[in-house]
Amino acid sequence: MAMRVAFRCLTANFSPVLIQRSRPVQISASRLLWKANPAQSLSTASRLSTALKFTDKHEWVRVEGGIGTVGISKFAQEALGDVVYCGLPEVGQKLEQMEEFGALESVKAASELYSPLTGEVTEINTELAVNPGLVNKSCYEVGWLIKMTIDNPAELDGLMDDCSYEKFIKSLDE
Amino acid sequence: MILRTFSNLCAQSQACFRSARAKSTLSDVIDETGKSGLILKSLSTDIFENLALEDWIHDHVDLQNRNMLFLWSNAPAVVIGRHQNPWQECNLQVMRQKGIPLARRRSGGGTVFHDLGNVNFTFFTSKKNYDRHRNLQVVTSALKGLRPDMDVRATERFDILLNGQHKISGTAAKLGRTAAYHHCTLLCSADRALLSAVLKPTCQGIKSNATQSVPSPVKNLLDEDPTLDCDTIMDSVASQYNTEFGFSSPVTLVDPSDELSLPGIQRMACELLAWEWTFGRTPKFSICTTFELKNDTSICNATLNMDIKNGIIETCDIEVPSDWLPVELSREFSLHLIGGKLCPYQTSVIAAAFLRTIPQNKEFERKMYNLCRRVVFMM
């Protein structure tokens, strides 16, 4: 039976209630938040994703020290199946928000990757060259894809936090 | 199967709207038909034009509530998957000799040989409706409709096997923002001798993490039944597509070089043709190989080590025994190659220029020439 995956394109329209939960962009604020939650465990994907912002294309971005780390969500890696190759950009490449920056090849297809933000690539995860399966095994941690500068921090406000993203993927199943 | 040209389709939609319009783009015309299922057939046999048309449809046609089938065939070409290494997959020397171009598609998967005896089917859908099994069932049902006793089956890898043994079709796919396409080949009457010759890689010693093809024994449908030709099969698949999805679409002919109907398509074809895409998108790899050098009186073994990124030689070390050639010569030649493309034409030019700089010594010249030739041959 074929997998039916709904990757619908939604415009971001978030309820005001959710804004309370979204993390501020500033470095010091996010560090404060970590300190305020010393017991916060990083062991589960849902806990991890509290620091993440998500796109409707199922990429996530985590901001630390003005640099965004980008990866794909658990939902996305499950839908993709076993990743066999990660086609990533070059360091120094400039990306516009929503611009295609690479592709993940899995047994399912070559799936394009879309930049969550506007910025410049500062690092790519070279581990993925030898172990592309890390994207499946550890999509929020060691399976990250690229790191990039954040040229327009306001773009982060337009992304979903974990709650909104959970709701979004639930709506795709309907 | 009714065949209409794109201009007929235009005329039909114009009649529907009771007004004369300036020539619309293909996506405008498709929208105006209001149809949820369409079958297109390419008028071109140029691999780059056809791949560009696939991309154009994927990018410009609203596929959220629409399915499309695209039928196409190409003059001889080798097509590699998006993340593959052509030096590892095919015989570039033979291809150059025979004028067979290399194309890199945007979908994943392995390397295939196309010629006019091979038919391609591309199934366009929304991402939600992406279903390779269903698409392949269209093909196998169409074939069984023509020859009920034929044993054709899709496998878990989305190949189609004839008699459980021979591969007659391979599949690849691309998932984009909101739409997807799944395309597959079908061997009807392809030149199998040429297929074997070009799909035999000649470059040895490659270490790469590029996606690799899974070689399979192949057969033509024509070998099974001489009355099965490409046109019959295309018609049958088009019919079956309509049946499977409940459409009633005629086959509309499309000219993929028509920039007016397909704005931007020429640029897309150019991108696909460019060296930077076909060869330059090869994942980083290294070559480590030894080869023989001969002259009238003796033989020796030379080793070559190269690192290649984006098709450009980043490091190069050619070692030849010092009693064969002065070490400085092979070392200097290695340095000359760094920063250049892994391309026989460019390397020949570099080699020719280098050979002119060698101090007058017939023996060294001959040996160096042999070395250069051997290195160029490897590319």
Q: pLDDT tens track of chain B, all 379 residues?
A: 556 665 555 555 444 333 334 568 888 888 888 888 999 999 999 999 999 999 999 999 999 989 999 999 999 999 999 999 999 999 999 999 999 999 999 999 999 999 999 999 999 999 989 999 999 999 999 999 999 999 999 999 899 999 999 999 999 999 988 899 999 999 999 999 999 999 999 889 999 999 999 999 999 999 999 999 999 999 999 999 999 999 999 999 999 999 999 999 999 999 999 999 999 999 999 999 999 998 888 889 999 999 999 999 999 999 999 988 999 999 999 999 999 999 999 999 999 999 998 877 888 888 999 999 999 999 9
Q: Which of A85, A110, A130 sits opposite B106 (nearest CB)?
A: A110
Instruction: Give the number of other Cβ atoms within 10 Å of residue A71's Cβ.
Output: 27
Residues A40, A47 contacting (CB under 8 angstroms) = yes
Instruction: Give the number of other Cβ atoms within 10 Å of residue A171's Cβ.
Output: 11
Instruction: Give the number of other Cβ atoms within 10 Å of residue A158's Cβ.
Output: 14
Assigned token pair, A50: 């509290």
Q: Do A110 and B182 touch (CB under 8 A)?
A: no
Q: Which of A7, A85, A109 sits opposite B173 (nearest CB)?
A: A109
State the distance between the two ends of chain B, measured CA to CA, in whole angstroms: 47
What is the phi/psi pair of residue B317, to 5°? -140, 110
Which residues of chain A are within 8 Å of residue B134 when distances are taken between CB atoms?
Answer: 2
Nearest chain A Cα distance for residue B298, angstroms: 42
CA–CA distance from B55 to each of B84, B123, B182 (Å)? Answer: 19, 12, 12
Interchain CB contact of B283 with A (< 8 Å):
yes
| CA pair distance B24, B14, nearest whole angstrom | 10
Assigned token pair, B132: 């390779």
- Nearest Cα residue in chain B from A127: B209
Nearest chain A Cα distance for residue B178, angstroms: 6
Task: List the 38-57 stretch of A: residues with Cβ below 8 A of B.
Answer: 57
What secondary structure letter does DSSP report for B24? P
Interchain CB contact of A105 with B (< 8 Å):
yes
Interchain CB contact of A4 with B (< 8 Å):
yes
Nearest chain B Cα distance for residue A57, angstroms: 7
| CA pair distance B84, B79, nearest whole angstrom | 10
| CA pair distance B130, B145, nearest whole angstrom | 24
Residues B232, B239 contacting (CB under 8 angstroms) = no
Interchain CB contact of A103 with B (< 8 Å):
yes
Assigned token pair, B180: 């997807």
* B104 DSSP β-pair partners: B80
Interchain CB contact of B63 with A (< 8 Å):
no
DSSP state letters, B37-58 = EEEEEES---HHHHHHHHHHHH
Q: Which of A57, A84, A110 sits opposite B177 (nearest CB)?
A: A57
What is the phi/psi pair of residue B155, to 5°? -100, 180
Q: Which of A83, A106, A108 to mutate to probe the B interface, most B CBs <10 Å?
A: A108
The closest of B345, B301, B294, B270 to B56, measured between CA atoms, is B270
Interchain CB contact of A111 with B (< 8 Å):
yes
Per-residue pLDDT, A11: 38
Per-residue pLDDT, B306: 97
Instruction: Give the number of other Cβ atoms within 10 Å of residue B279's Cβ.
Output: 23
Per-residue pLDDT, B9: 55
Q: Which of B209, B268, B284 to mutate to probe the A interface, most A CBs <10 Å?
A: B209
Which residues of chain B are within 8 Å of residue A5 when distances are taken between CB atoms?
Answer: 127-128, 130
Looking at this protein, which amino acid is placed at residue B311?
A: G
| CA pair distance B217, A115, nearest whole angstrom | 41
The closest of A112, A63, A4, A18 to B130, measured between CA atoms, is A4
Looking at this protein, which amino acid is placed at residue A7?
A: F
What secondary structure letter does DSSP report for B25? P
- H-type helices in chain A, by residue range? 16-19, 27-36, 45-48, 74-80, 127-130, 134-137, 154-157, 162-173
Interchain CB contact of B173 with A (< 8 Å):
yes
pTM: 0.85
Crossing angle, helix B265-273 and helix B47-60, to 10 degrees? 130
Nearest chain B Cα distance for residue A155, angstroms: 19
Q: Which of A8, A87, A109 sits opposite B107 (nearest CB)?
A: A109
Residues B181, B173 contacting (CB under 8 angstroms) = yes
Which residues of chain A are within 8 Å of residue B82 when distances are taken between CB atoms?
Answer: 87, 103, 105, 110
The three-state secondary structure class of B324 is coil
The three-state secondary structure class of A50 is helix
- Nearest Cα residue in chain B from A132: B209
Nearest chain A Cα distance for residue B82, angstroms: 8
Binned average pLDDT, 10 residues per bin, chain A of 174 residues: 41 39 42 41 44 92 93 93 94 95 92 95 95 96 96 94 92 74
Per-residue pLDDT, B363: 85
| CA pair distance A107, A82, nearest whole angstrom | 6
